[in-house]
Amino acid sequence: MRPRISKLPYYARSASVLLLQLRRGSRLRALALRGPISFRNGLSFEVSSFLDLLILKETIYDDVYRLSDLEGEGPKLIIDVGAGIGSFSILVSQPRSSRGRPCWRSSPTRRRLRCSRQT
């Protein structure tokens, strides 16, 4: 992914939000875009690109999928097509949250599906 100059302030803000929310041992791995990273809230993800990091920031901290709407009543099953690294499906299936929904996920590549299974 090639960053656009007009998006640089957004990328800088996103990077700072992520670095503050990552556990100390994960910060260098996130900057190197290699390996598993762990957030302070206990979630871990395998990342391999800057886009992976942006997706995590937007899913977890910006709530772009409006996961907060799933609190309380909601669908009994969620299907995540094109799950990528699994950020959405992992968040909605967290047993310690009130969302705790079963989630089936698929990804177009085996590597991505394998990464989402590991987390």
pLDDT in tens, 67-109: 777 666 667 777 777 777 777 777 777 765 555 677 777 776 6
Helix, strand, coil content of the chain in percent (nearest 5): 50, 15, 40
- Residue 59 confidence (pLDDT): 86
Q: What are phi and psi of 33, to 5 degrees?
A: 55, 45
- Sketch the domain layout of the chain as residue ranges: 5-118
Q: What is the pTM of this model?
A: 0.69
Distance between CA atoms of 70 and 80, rounded to whole angstroms? 15
Q: Which of 116, 50, 56, 46 is nearest to 80 (CA)?
A: 116
Using CA atoms, how far residue 80 sits from 35, 71, 109, in Å, is: 23, 18, 14
